Amino acid sequence: MSLRVLNRAFFQFFANKKVVLGTIFFVTLALRCLFVFQWSQTPYATMPLLDAKVYHDWALTIASGELLRGKAFYQSPLFPYMLGLIYAFLGQSFILVGILNAVLEAATATMLAFMSLTAFGSIGAALATGLLAAFYRPTIFYTAPLMKEPLGLFLLTVFFLIFQKGLETNRARSFFLSGCLLGLAALVRGNFLCLAPSALIVGTYYWRRVFLKSGVLFALGVMLAVSPATLHNYLVCDDFVLINYTDGFNLYIGNSPTANGTNSYPPEVSTDPVQEEMNTIWVATKKEGHSLSPSEVSHFWRDQALAYMVENPARIVELIFNKFLAFWNGHEQFDNYDISFIEKNFDTLLSWPLVPFWVVSSLSAVGAVLLSRRRRKQVFLYVLFAAAYMGTLMLFYVTDRYRLPVIVFLLPLAGAAFAALYDGVRDKACKPLVMALLAGGFFLFLGLRPPLDPVDLTAFNWGTLSMVYSDLEQDQKAIAAFDKAVSYSPIQAGASAYARASYAYEHMGNEKSAQEVLEQAIKVFPDNGILLYNYARFKAARNQLSEALQLFERALQLSPFYLLNYYALAKGYTLVGQRDRARYFVKVGLDLDPSDPLLNQVMAEIDGREGVIK
């Protein structure tokens, strides 16, 4: 068979829309299922980190039947509830969740290809868009951990697909449905709500006064979708919190004396999600001098951010510029998991030549310029929503996960760029080609330039891995990873890594090394109350109660939000017969978190039964 016949057969095969979309779905699904299997062979697979751990623990409580949280949502609720339903009906299987995420990702890639086909009229554009989406590195990665990104991208894509359909006909049903979907997407990532004004502006631009009814129904759909979260928050704390109450603190992270445009936390707040919530409440309560409702906590941090913005306008302009550069930079800004570290140290398809962000951004710029000649309205729509989404991060801050949703608006343009380039060369459209290449070159420059504030995360990543191995009770590996972390940087290894290394030594029966690691840690982090708590716990476990109680009290002064300190002090003072002192610490701890199970347990035991400090 000649090469010409093969080429003709190939192009005839992929000229069929269903074949193209089906191919994209199964290629995307196969790649992500492969990565889910590879991920299951890594130590991270059964030990979710940070936000993933919060989602997992929250889902377990939902699966057990506890549908109301007992307090307002601090994080977006839809993904944990979906996860909880999976656990309740299908069992707790991380691989199963990964496969379901892979199906969502495959559906998303297929819809993006379909959008490119309908918006820009080319099977080639659809195939290119779908393949770019299938091989896009960050979305492949986020399929496997227990993270909300696949669900958020799926809902955002369905919203945009149906919204575009509504623009064609001004059918009220389409706009109402798209509003519901945007509201659901906002229950995954709250800043999606900021896209609603763009949708209303575009609808008004397309249909003028005729859009009034559709616009009202769109807004009604958004409100209807987010209302369960609002109602939950009102029922459990008699307070108006639309979805969750992190927005004020997130605004402060991006606009404060310690801000740098990415996730630079203020020193008084932990990056651990559970401790973060406690810290934000504690700091706000302490400065205001009285207890605060969830909305008041959010207002406190928002007011702090706005005051800083008003007092430091030049600094805010600098931060917005930094965020702009970080947004378009090809570097994936760390958030929860460091993809580059995992790629280098574990055998997965992340080491394949996958599609990075700078390729998508550059191609989308080329496509936007070339396609604007014939498809101006469609290009305007995609560029407007991409700019609107970027604008939400200019208000807050930029990380790889936060930037990820913009690909919903960039990938169809990027895929269509190939066909547009072919048409431009064929038609000898020199001026548009030059303009397109200049635009693409500009975004290529932004994508490939070094990050503004590069941070070497090697020590941190090895420290995190040592904690994972410790949780898995692989003590030798935990200590080896800890030693690597400290060899790179004793500080960047992180205080928690020292505590876990001490646990590993203790578990192996090497008490001397366990104590030495904790004493070394206290020298490196002298003001870390959680480390001091671990040292006090070590002393208490060896019946050195008097010294341990002094250390616990000092640890409490350093970290007044750390609930285990209150529990340990209550147990310790109960053991030495000072029940009034024990009651005091239980009461203060329960003021911080009335639902804490350990503190409620020790309150029930405080009538004299002996216990062991754990």
The pLDDT of residue 275 is 79
The pLDDT of residue 3 is above 70: no
Mean pLDDT score, 320-343: 90
Structure tokens at 354: 């996958």
Q: Are 509 and 540 in contact (CB under 8 A)?
A: no
State the residue for tokens 């992190």: 246
Chain centroid to Cα 161, Å, comes to 24
Mean pLDDT score, 10-17: 57
32-65 CB burial, b ≥16 within 10 A, e <16: bbebbebbeebbbbebbbbbbbbbbebbbebbee
User: Tens of pLDDT along 271-288?
Assistant: 788 778 888 888 898 888
State whether the Cα torsion 426-429-433-436 is positive or negative.
negative
Mean pLDDT score, 374-390: 92
N-terminal to C-terminal alpha carbon distance within the chain: 74
CA–CA distance, 334 with 454 (Å, rounded to integer): 11
Mean pLDDT score, 287-302: 91
The pLDDT of residue 345 is above 60: yes
CA–CA distance, 176 with 325 (Å, rounded to integer): 36
Q: Quick check: pTM over 0.85?
A: yes
Q: Which residue has the higher pLDDT, 159 or 7?
A: 159
CA–CA distance, 324 with 584 (Å, rounded to integer): 50
CA–CA distance, 179 with 184 (Å, rounded to integer): 9
The pLDDT of residue 85 is above 50: yes
The pLDDT of residue 14 is above 80: no
337-357 CB burial, b ≥16 within 10 A, e <16: bbbebbbeebebbbeeebbbb
The pLDDT of residue 613 is above 50: no
Structure tokens at 388: 């609107």
DSSP-derived secondary structure for 344-395: HHS-SGGGS-PBPHHHHHHHHHHHHHHHTTT-HHHHHHHHHHHHHHHHHHHH
Residues shown for the chain: 614
Structure tokens at 141: 């990665």
Average pLDDT, the chain: 89
The pLDDT of residue 541 is above 90: no
The pLDDT of residue 300 is 94
The pLDDT of residue 4 is 56
Mean pLDDT score, 444-454: 86
Banded model confidence at residue 8, pLDDT cuts 50, 70, 90: low
In Å, how far are 441, 492, 543, 603 from 471, measured between CA atoms? 47, 20, 25, 28
DSSP 8-state assignment for residue 136: B
State the residue for tokens 């080329």: 366
575 residue type, one letter: L
The pLDDT of residue 6 is 42
Segment among 86-90, 151-155, 571-575 with least mean pLDDT: 571-575
Structure tokens at 386: 């991409």
Task: Name the nearest CA neighbour of 125 among 354, 358, 366, 357.
Answer: 366
User: Tens of pLDDT along 22-53?
Assistant: 999 999 999 999 999 999 999 999 888 889 99
Q: Are 261 and 254 in contact (CB under 8 A)?
A: yes
User: Tens of pLDDT along 139-166?
Assistant: 999 999 999 999 999 999 999 999 999 9
